[in-house]
Amino acid sequence: MTSERFLKGRFNKELAEDVKSFIDSTSIDKEMIYEDIWGSEAHMLMLVKKGHIKKCYAREMLNCLQIAKKDVKGDRFILKPYLEDVHINVESYIIRNCGIEYGGKLHTARSRNDQVVTDVKLHLRSKILELMDCVIELQNILLNLALKNTKTIMPGYTHLQQAQPITLGFWATAYVSMIMRDLERFEGLYSRVNRNPLGSAALAGTSFNIDRRITTRFLGFDKISEHALDAVSSRDFVVETFSVMAILMSNLSRIVGDIILWNSAEFNYIILPQEYTTGSSIMPQKKNPDAAEMVRGKTGAVYGALMQSLSILKGLPSGYNRDLQEDRLLLWDTLDTARMSLKVLCGMLGGAQFNKKRMKEMVDSSFAAATELANHLVKKNNISFRESHEIIGFVVRKLDEKGKTLADIDEAFEILNKKINGNITANTFKKVVDSENIIKANKSLGGTAPREVERMICSLRADMKAHQKSVRKKRNKIIKAREKTEAEVMNILINRD
């Protein structure tokens, strides 16, 4: 490995080869090279404004950074591992190209400690917005599915036993509602990520008269992460990111949990698009839900990443410690896993067909109407729910002993009618156990009744749109800040005063 020791004053020996590769973070840093350059531009503009760097010096360095950006774009900016990280790589690029008397000024009132956390936050916030977009896309698909299926009857489960009739629309909106909280969590996370640590320097602030509000504006941060020692040494926002993603993945793993079951011949509720299923190398008939299984499988890896990030922080002494470098080892990958999982799920659900006939048959050949029968006795026969529960339980037992269900309607009616001394007519009995009637009747707030599901679709869509708007607003703010920095850089490059 070629080398040039960067911070050489203190040392007259080379870093050991093993150590070089051991502490190198360039492979994980390369994701945030644009952010590192942006941070340098903002810092330099602030130093110029505060009179610490003359424009003629800044011009050289800013020009150099313009070329650096082109090199990055053209894949010509190769991060050198022996320069440890992206920060030294960018700084040494400037020094190489402008000379140390110019380029050496960039690091005034700055440390890699505030730089790294600035870069991570800048990169992370855009990733969060991408993920929010993907969650919204999945919600949209589920809401469209729900809208078409507010009357599509299927069994609702508890303990994976048929419990009560619900609709496919009710099922789909449950997940929309569930992942809405992921969006809420992303909002909260974003507000904690989008705070500016730059200007904290190594740990104690700086004696240079800097203005952190300026870099905050140029970088599009919402506020300043004020306390210097806290700002450089805290990574709870990284742990929080992993935790938000772990919960999101846990939710996605439940959606695929349903899909995987429903795709089995035993359930046969869903037909997955061929593009999202795979065959077996030996069993010609197989059409496996591998993509869904991978969402479930990758959830485990995300949980592991959360644990890793917590363990890295545990017991660290105050201030920056190099251990913190490991915080983002899995960060970018994990964000990518979540994004891919969402994308795959969108495609899979978007192209899926539902076996509605089978779903309805399963309801109508089961005991799913038992609860509604018990409710009916309470309403019409003036008995307590517990008594009614026992009566219907008795009817179910009798039918079950004969291998029958409530679908054997005449028999079921007879057993019940005998038990309650002729207090129900055959006609009423039929109406009460009819799954469509049951669905319609469950119109309490948040219930499965089509009317209620339609209402929830509207309100969920409104919430989803509000998040969409908020993502757009955040993204615009980033774009505007980027343009503002660019314009100010151009101003210095062009106006030769």
Our finding on whether 325 is near ligand ARG (CB under 6 A) is yes
Q: Which residues contact 382 (CB under 8 A, 6 or more apart)?
A: none
Minimum distance from residue 338 beta carbon to ligand ARG (Å):
22
25: contact with ligand ARG by CB under 6 A: yes
Beta carbon nearer to ligand ARG, 161 or 321: 321
Rule CB under 6 A: choose which of 322, 357, 386, 473 binds ligand ARG. Answer: 322
The CB-of-238 to ligand ARG minimum distance in angstroms stands at: 11
HEC sequence for the chain: CCCCCCCCCCCCCCCCHHHHHHHCCHHHHHHHHHHHHHHHHHHHHHHHHCCCCCHHHHHHHHHHHHHHHHHHHCCCCCCCHHHCCHHHHHHHHHHHHHCHHHHCCCCCCCCHHHHHHHHHHHHHHHHHHHHHHHHHHHHHHHHHHHHHCCCCEEEEEECCEEEEEEEHHHHHHHHHHHHHHHHHHHHHHHHHHCEECCCCCCCCCCCCCCCHHHHHHHCCCCEECCCHHHHHHCCHHHHHHHHHHHHHHHHHHHHHHHHHHHCCCCCCCEECCHHHCECCCCCCCCCECHHHHHHHHHHHHHHHHHHHHHHHHCCCCCCCCHHHHHHHCCHHHHHHHHHHHHHHHHHHHHCCEECHHHHHHHHHCCCCCHHHHHHHHHHHHCCCHHHHHHHHHHHHHHHHHCCCCCCCHHHHHHHHHHHCCCCCCHHHHHHHHCHHHHHHHCCCCCCCCHHHHHHHHHHHHHHHHHHHHHHHHHHHHHHHHHHHHHHHHHHHHHCCC
Q: Is 107 considered catalytic here?
A: no
> Minimum distance from CB of 64 to ligand ARG (Å)?
21
C-alpha span between 277 and 286 (Å, rounded): 9
Catalytic-residue membership of 126:
no
Q: Please list every residue from 128 through 167 that binds ligand ARG, using CB under 6 A.
A: none
The answer to whether 118 contacts ligand ARG (rule: CB under 6 A) is: no
Of 162 and 234, the one with the shorter C-beta distance to ligand ARG is 234
Burial class (CB in 10 A: 0-12, 13-18, 19+), 51: exposed
From CA 67, how far away is CA 41, in angstroms rounded? 13
> Among 37, 58, 110, 113, which residue sits at the site for ligand ARG (rule: CB under 6 A)?
113
Using CB under 6 A as the binding rule, whether residue 40 contacts ligand ARG is answered as no
Part in contact with ligand ARG (CB under 6 A); list of ranges 121-129, 162-170, 260-268, 317-325: 317-325
Stretch that binds ligand ARG, among 68-76, 162-170, 276-284, 321-329 (CB under 6 A): 321-329
Examine residue 83 and tell whether it contacts ligand ARG (CB under 6 A): no
Task: For the CB of residue 327, give the shortest distance to ligand ARG in the complex, in Å.
Answer: 8
Q: Is residue 112 within the footprint of ligand ARG (CB under 6 A)?
A: yes
Residue 382 zone, left/alpha/beta (φ > 0; ψ -120 to 50; rest): left
Give the shortest CB-234-to-ligand ARG separation in angstroms: 13
Query: Which of these ranges, 112-120, 268-276, 343-351, 411-419, lies near ligand ARG under the rule CB under 6 A?
Result: 112-120
Distance in Å, CB of 149 to ligand ARG, minimum: 49
* 369 in Cβ contact with 438 (< 8 Å): yes
User: Quick one: which of 317, 325, 253 has its CA closest to 291?
Assistant: 253
What span, in angstroms and rounded, lies between the C-alpha atoms of 344 and 276? 8
**CB 320, min distance to ligand ARG, A:** 6
Q: Find where tokens 């994308």 sit.
A: 343
- Which CB atom, from 200 or from 263, has the smaller least distance to ligand ARG? 200
Q: How far is the CB of 67 from ligand ARG (least distance, A)?
A: 24
Segment lying near ligand ARG (by CB under 6 A), choices 273-281, 316-324, 377-385, 418-426: 316-324
Residue among 122 and 270 whose Cβ is closer to ligand ARG? 122
**Least spacing, CB of residue 219 vs ligand ARG, in Å:** 18
Q: Minimum CB separation from ligand ARG for residue 330, in Å?
A: 14
Q: Which is nearer to ligand ARG, 173 or 215 (CB)?
A: 215
**Any contact of residue 116 with ligand ARG (CB under 6 A)?**
yes
Question: Is position 85 an interface residue for ligand ARG (rule: CB under 6 A)?
Answer: yes
Q: Which among 108-116, 276-284, 353-361, 479-487 is the span making contact with ligand ARG, rule CB under 6 A? A: 108-116
**Spatial distance between the Cα atoms of 275 and 413, rounded to a whole number of angstroms:** 48
Number of residues that bind ligand ARG (CB under 6 A): 10
Q: Which is nearer to ligand ARG, 25 or 200 (CB)?
A: 25
Count CB-CB contacts under 10 A for residue 317. Answer: 8
Q: Which one of the spans 111-119, 213-221, 264-272, 488-496 is the region binding ligand ARG (CB under 6 A)?
A: 111-119
For residue 314, state whether it binds ligand ARG (rule: CB under 6 A).
Answer: no
Q: Which CB, 321 or 353, lies closer to ligand ARG?
A: 321
Instruction: Mark the segment that binds ligand ARG (CB under 6 A) among 68-76, 142-150, 270-278, 320-328.
Output: 320-328
Tell me: does residue 352 bind ligand ARG (CB under 6 A).
no
Catalytic residue among 3, 191, 280, 318: 280
- Active-site residues, by number, are 159, 280
Binding site for ligand ARG (CB under 6 A): 25, 84-85, 112-113, 116, 320, 322, 324-325
